[in-house]
Structures are given as C-alpha cells and as structure tokens.
C-alpha cells in the first residue's frame, strides 16, 4: 500500500512511518522539524498554509492517509486556542473531505482526553465531555472528520515511546529523569491505558488491512495510574523508583485541567481485530528492549539539522 503519514517528526508519526515502511511505501509529512530517513520519503509542508493538503496528496497519491499531525501539547493549546482550533479541528475535516473525494482512505488520530474522566471504562458509545482546549478541539476534529467522510477511521489513543528528540513521551520523561537521579512527581489519581507507539502502529496497520471505519478506542487492554507506570519503568530499567513522589494532579500546578480517569474500553477494537490489544508490561518490556538495541539513538540520528 501507499501510505501518507502526517506528523512524521512526532512521537507517533515517526514510529508509525518506520513500522509501516517495513511492508509499505510510506511518505512522511513533517513541518518545522526536519527528518532524515532511508526507510520512508520525507515530505515538508505546513498544513495550515492553503494548498498544502492538496499538494501533498497530489504528490504522494496515497491509498491511506494516517493523520498524526496535531497541536498535541495540552498546555500549548491552552496558550494558543486559535492555532489549536485550526490544527486540531479544521484541518482534520478538510483533510477528510479531500481524501474522500480522491478515493483514498483516512485514519484520523484522536485522544482519550475527549472524556472528563469522572467515570472511566469509556466505550465508543459514551458521551465525551472535554475539559481543556486540547480536548475540545480534538473532539471537534473527530466530528468534522466523520461528517466529511463516513468511511474514515477515528482512533482515540494514548501512547508512549522513544521520540526524535527524546523528550516527547511520559516513558522518556521517567527514564531520563530517573537515570539522572532526579526526583519526579507521579500522579496517583490519573489513570490511563498507554500503548507503546510501535504497538499502536501495528494495530493501526491491521485496522487498515481489515478496512475498518468509524470510531475506535485504540489503547492498551490494561490501565494504570501514571505513578504506577513510572514505577514499572523504573523497575524494568533498574532505576530507583523511590525518586518518584506519589502526587495528586491538582497539586502539580498544570495550566490545563486534566481528566482523572481516562481508562477506555477496548471491546469494540478486540472484536474487530479478533484479538485484544497489547497489555502494559509487554509494552514496557519492548520499550526497554528498544533501549538495549539503541533505537533511541537511531531516532535521534534521524533528526536532520540537529
């Protein structure tokens, strides 16, 4: 298949472009952050510049577009709501309409954060209630995509993994700080179900081959607190878990409101795949194995111009 991955310099997009290029012809769109890759063709373009979506689709002629590009830093969205609105709400709808007209398919990436986290175990049927600008704009993006293109897949995700500059994921945060002997906070009252980016990428590729459409929760089959996640990383990497201070999220002084219980139900996904998505410990084992195999260094060498 010919696959266009937007956000190919980002945490998800880069790992996904690398995973997909094992078996497919992949084009990866980046904007400000240059990337050097022998595995996939790197394209440059700002999705907010009129004509970019059309130009990139015309040049790449994809059968599938996996849209990972977003304003994905929660507090940055709070500081710049207009930009968040354009990138997270408007661009996905526009992309969905143009992709649909050209006969290609779209997998649009959304977030678990569309829920207010008061209950947890949310299914695709449950009503979202976004608490932050990031969450609100991402929810609008979902609605715009499915309105413009009912054949699209919308995947609500949560993930961690190794990233281009080593600073993008919670897994990297715990690894880097603990290995430098620094104390960090671990939220005991925020629950999530993160998948390793590479495992998430493999689930996405399976969803494409199965020709799915509609809304799916694509997260780990298991969930835990952010504190517990840090502890498991520490144990796997042989680092001092005592450096992680159990903390309540409201005491952390974060700019945007966070939803406490973002555990999602993956029943619909498991039915469609015929198998459950990966659990937490196998993901952390693989994250550690990638570290041993110098995957983080491989990614950082792809950061052209750094």
Q: How many residues bind ligand NAP (CB under 6 A)?
A: 27
Question: In the numeric block, which tokens belong to residue 46?
Answer: 């700002």
Burial class (CB in 10 A: 0-12, 13-18, 19+), 249: middle
Q: Figure out which of the listed residues 3, 13, 136, 244 binds ligand NAP, where binding follows CB under 6 A.
A: 13
Query: Are residues 26 and 20 in contact, defined by beta-carbon separation less than 8 angstroms?
Result: yes
Minimum CB separation of residue 109 from ligand NAP in Å reads 4
Give the Cα separation of 164 and 194 in Å (integer).
19
| 48 lies in the site for ligand NAP, by CB under 6 A | yes
| 5 lies in the site for ligand NAP, by CB under 6 A | no
| 145 lies in the site for ligand NAP, by CB under 6 A | no
| 85 lies in the site for ligand NAP, by CB under 6 A | no
Using the minimum distance from each CB to ligand NAP, give the nearer residue, 187 or 240: 187
Helix locations, 26-121, DSSP H? 52-60, 74-79, 81-84, 91-101
Using the minimum distance from each CB to ligand NAP, give the nearer residue, 11 or 208: 11
| 37 lies in the site for ligand NAP, by CB under 6 A | no
Stretch that binds ligand NAP, among 27-35, 93-101, 256-264, 268-276 (CB under 6 A): 27-35
Query: Are residues 148 and 92 in contact, defined by beta-carbon separation less than 8 angstroms?
Result: no
Q: Figure out which of the listed residues 21, 31, 133, 149 binds ligand NAP, where binding follows CB under 6 A.
A: 31
Using the minimum distance from each CB to ligand NAP, give the nearer residue, 15 or 181: 15
Q: Figure out which of the listed residues 105, 136, 138, 258 binds ligand NAP, where binding follows CB under 6 A.
A: 138
- DSSP reduced 3-state for 260: coil
| 69 lies in the site for ligand NAP, by CB under 6 A | yes
Give the Cα separation of 187 and 72 in Å (integer).
20
Q: Figure out which of the listed residues 3, 9, 64, 153 binds ligand NAP, where binding follows CB under 6 A.
A: 9
| 87 lies in the site for ligand NAP, by CB under 6 A | yes
Cβ–Cβ contacts within 10 Å for residue 214, how many?
Answer: 13
| 111 lies in the site for ligand NAP, by CB under 6 A | yes
Site string for ligand NAP, 254-283 (x = CB under 6 A): ------------------------------
What Å distances lie between residue 38 and 4, 67, 182, CA to CA? Answer: 16, 21, 36
Closest CA to 225 of 305, 280, 284: 280
> What is the crossing angle of helices 91-101 and 133-148, to 10°?
20
| Residue numbers 148-177 binding ligand NAP by CB under 6 A | 157-159, 168
Distance in Å from the first CA to the final CA of the chain: 31
What residue ranges bind ligand NAP (CB under 6 A)?
7, 9-13, 30-33, 46-48, 68-70, 72-73, 87, 109, 111-112, 138, 157-159, 168
């Amino acid at each position: 298949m010919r696959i266009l991955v937007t956000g190919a310099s980002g945490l998800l997009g880069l790992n996904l472009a690398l995973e997909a290029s094992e078996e497919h012809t992949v084009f990866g769109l980046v904007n400000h952050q240059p990337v050097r890759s022998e595995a996939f063709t790197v394209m440059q373009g700002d999705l907010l510049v009129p004509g970019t979506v059309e130009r990139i689709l015309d040049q790449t002629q994809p059968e599938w577009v996996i849209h990972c590009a977003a304003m994905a830093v929660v507090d940055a969205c709070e500081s710049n709501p207009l930009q968040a609105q354009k990138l997270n709400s408007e661009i996905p709808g526009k992309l969905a309409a143009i992709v649909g007209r050209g006969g290609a398919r779209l997998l649009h990436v959304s977030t678990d954060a569309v829920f207010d986290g008061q209950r947890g175990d949310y299914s695709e049927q449950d009503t979202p209630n976004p608490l932050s600008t990031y969450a609100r704009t991402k929810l609008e993006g979902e609605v715009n995509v499915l309105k413009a293109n009912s054949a699209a897949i919308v995947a609500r995700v949560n993930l961690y993994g190794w990233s281009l500059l080593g600073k993008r994921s919670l897994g990297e945060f715990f690894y880097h700080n603990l290995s430098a002997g620094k104390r960090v906070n671990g939220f005991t009252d925020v629950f999530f179900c993160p998948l390793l980016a590479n495992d998430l990428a493999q689930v996405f590729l399976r969803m494409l081959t199965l020709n799915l459409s509609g809304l799916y929760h694509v997260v780990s089959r298991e969930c835990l607190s952010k504190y517990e996640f840090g502890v498991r990383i520490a144990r796997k990497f042989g680092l001092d878990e005592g450096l992680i201070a159990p903390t309540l999220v409201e005491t952390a002084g974060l700019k945007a409101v966070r939803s406490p219980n973002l555990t999602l139900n993956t029943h619909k996904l498991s039915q469609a795949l015929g198998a459950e998505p990966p659990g937490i410990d196998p993901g952390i084992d693989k994250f550690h194995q990638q570290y041993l195999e110098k995957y983080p260094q491989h990614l950082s060498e792809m950061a052209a111009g750094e």
